[in-house]
Structure 1
Amino acid sequence: MSGAWSAVDDYLSAHLLAPDDGLSGALRRNEAEGLPPIDVSDTQGKMLQLFARMAGARRILEVGTLGGYSTIWLARALPEGGRLVTLEIDPHHADVARANLAAAGLAECVEVRAGIAVESLAALKAEGGEPFDFVFVDADKPSNVAYLRAALDLTRPGAVIVVDNVVRGGAILDSASGDPSVHGTRAMFEMLAAEPRIDATAIQTVGAKGWDGFVLAMVR
């Protein structure tokens, strides 16, 4: 069945997405530089871009840059004068992302911060800048609760938060799982269920990336 999921993704991409040198070049550079092929799909990237545009986002925060593929999609949702800050733990990945963003003509509106994300998030809070309008979380899953708590500190009411990879092939049903990513994801859902400042839903997805899903939330 997964072959059909990928074929449908190919069909959707062929009809809805135009060829894009900035995006395809980023994927080629990522592969050449040895980055893992775990970027969002092209249709998921376009979905993120549309979500950010629907939110009217002028300031976007991304937790988990990898090589900047999703960053490019999100940065292209920004209006003139908008800003995106993206956080990446691996210095090599951050350097590759900077090269990809420069090649896509987005270096001026995107800041890539290398380091441990929870520390970078604390630094952003200490800096006291304008709140973010849109947050995309796609990093280590055991830290999802910490990322969501930080996002609440860094956003305004009405801001949109998207968290990726929250179904994990159905593994979230396994309370006895030994996978830290499953535990982190389940803890995130417990937090969302109890947190009055967030209104959230989650959607299962299938496609070229397999069976997974995402959380879509709004800050109250």
Structure 2
Amino acid sequence: MSEKIWNEVDLYFSNKLHTTDQIMDSILKANAEAGLPAIDVSPNQGKFLHLLARLTGAKSILEIGTLGGYSSVWLARALPENGRLITLEYEARHAKVAEANIKHAGLADKIKIIVGAALDTLPKLKEKGLSSFDLIFIDADKSNNPEYLKWALELSRPGTVIITDNVIRDGKVLAPDSDDPNVRGIRTFIDKLSQEPRIDSTVMQTVGMKGYDGFVIGVVKE
């Protein structure tokens, strides 16, 4: 019953507060037809990311984990004319789907997809001088979240917002002896956050069509 209500509430607010968006709907359809896992953020979560990017006045965004580009488009729509989003994707097949979706959304000039393991491509961003991002969204393999946090801090500046998805996992984050590498990665990530003096952070638990989960949101200190 709870999950049914969560889904209905999500749809209620989405229908009330979002205008019909054929492009975003088509991205989800294309992702499903391509056989991508249905792990995109929900429409309400996508709009939240979009509004967060607007609230922070982000001109440069880094996304770790592209999938089919659904969250990439939500974020990039908040960018100014001279804004730029770099998104990192491990799977070449996923990146190909995302590229088509991004082109269909009219954002190919603002979004750059880099294919490869993020822990290989993140150091190259710094080598190329691509750092001081205004907003960083971490939504990839959770087992590597501790390393993604390290690189997010390396590529940030004072005031950068770092947001990390899927940190609750239906409450499994409470299990200290879990053998799930995703849960272990999140717990280590949270431990590192709790000891990291450079960032001030909190968690926002969520329920809805994506189940019971949540975001960690942090701001890099001055």
TM-score, reference length from structure 2: 0.98
1-structure distance, mates of 2:96, 2:132: 26
1:43-82 pair list within 5 angstroms: 43-82=44-83
C-alpha distance in 2, partners of 1:203/1:20?
26
1:56-83 alpha-carbon deviations (Å, 9 max, x no partner): 1000000000000000000001011100
1:7 — aligned with what?
Answer: 8
Aligned runs of 1:121-140 on 2, under 5 Å?
121-140=122-141
The residue that corresponds to 1:213 in the other structure is 214
Residue 195 of structure 2 is aligned to residue 187 of structure 1: no
Alignment of 1:1-220 (within 5 A): 1-220=2-221
Q: How far did 1:5 drift?
A: 0.2
Partners of 1:130 and 1:35 lie apart in 2 by 30
The 2-side partners of 1:174 and 1:12 are apart by 32
Could you tell me which runs of 5 or more consecutive residues in structure 2 were left unpaired when the two chains were aligned. Answer: none
Question: For residues 22 and 104 of structure 1, what CA distance do their matches in structure 2 show?
Answer: 6
The gaps in structure 1 that reach 5 residues or longer are none
d(CA) in 2 for partners of 1:132, 1:151: 9
In the alignment of these two chains, the number of paired residues is: 220
Query: Which TM-score applies when normalising by structure 1?
Result: 0.99
The offset of 1:129, in angstroms, is: 2.6
Question: Could you tell me how far apart the structure 2 residues matched to 1:129 and 1:182 are?
Answer: 30
Q: Secondary structure at the match of 1:65?
A: coil
Once the two structures are TM-superposed, the CA of residue 130 in structure 1 deviates from its matched residue by: 4.6
Aligned-partner Cα distance in 1 for 2:82–2:23: 20
Alpha-carbon displacement from aligned partner over 1:113-151 (angstroms, at most 9, x marks no partner)? 110011111110111135100000000001001111101
Cα RMSD, aligned residues only: 0.6
Give the letter aligned to residue 34 of structure 1. Answer: G
Distance 1:181 1:130 in 2: 27
